[in-house]
Structure 1
Amino acid sequence: MKRWLREFRAFALKGNVIDMAVGVVVGSSFTAIVNSLVGDVITPLFMLLSPDSSTFESLTIGGTIMIGKFINAVLSFLMISVCMFILMQGANRLLRRAEKEKAEAPAPAPSKEELLLTEIRDLLKENRER
């Protein structure tokens, strides 16, 4: 279980995974702005310009411009963006801390094989010099 959690943590804290998640969240909230702009502002403006047209009657009822819905979508986008920024600040701190811990970790002691190979190498150098 610990191994699985370590692997998941390594996967989740990769930079490109976090960036992609932020992009999906911000993109979906921006989609709400575009939908509100088109559905609540632009389409009713067309209704007001041509109230006799049967094409636009099926799109909206009454042709009222709903600026409040559009402003609500913009404010929601801003709140989501701020929350994602705060979450990214925390994730960046975690990543920096993990990198710092890796940099400060002492190098592992050489194994018995490495020590033996080093001794052999040194002895061979001494024999060549003679």
Structure 2
Amino acid sequence: MNLNKFKKTIGKTNPEKGLRDLAGARKAEYHHNDQGAIRVKGKYISHDYDRFGRVFGITAYLLAWLYVPCTVLSFFLPPGSIWNPFSIFLTGMFAVHGFALVADGLRNSNAPWAMKGIKIYWMGVILLIVLSMIISMLPKG
């Protein structure tokens, strides 16, 4: 066994060997000239806003502001109505989250209006639950 050859192989250092795995390393053909592009897990995400994504995000935001008051107002409808609070809650949840998912998919995981809509919807629902619990604890009379 020739140990000298083995030692020469171990002693070699290739400084270029692992550079492609570094966070900022990129090939010239994959480099975006846009200063706003951010590299996340090997993909460049630009701050380019897609119009369809923006429309879906703003729609989710507006639906959140629409369904929270509708859920509150549905408590005052007659008991036999088809629009009970739970059905409006489910419809609003699926509508807001559905539009937010579409907006997020179209805008490269950058949908601020859709995220605001989800936050507003859930804050309104939680506030409604807390208020209904407080009202139910008040003495009747």
Normalised to the residue count of structure 2, the TM-score between the two structures is 0.34
Which is higher, the Rg of structure 1 or of structure 2? 1
Normalised to the residue count of structure 1, the TM-score between the two structures is 0.36
Pick the structure with more strand per residue. Answer: 2
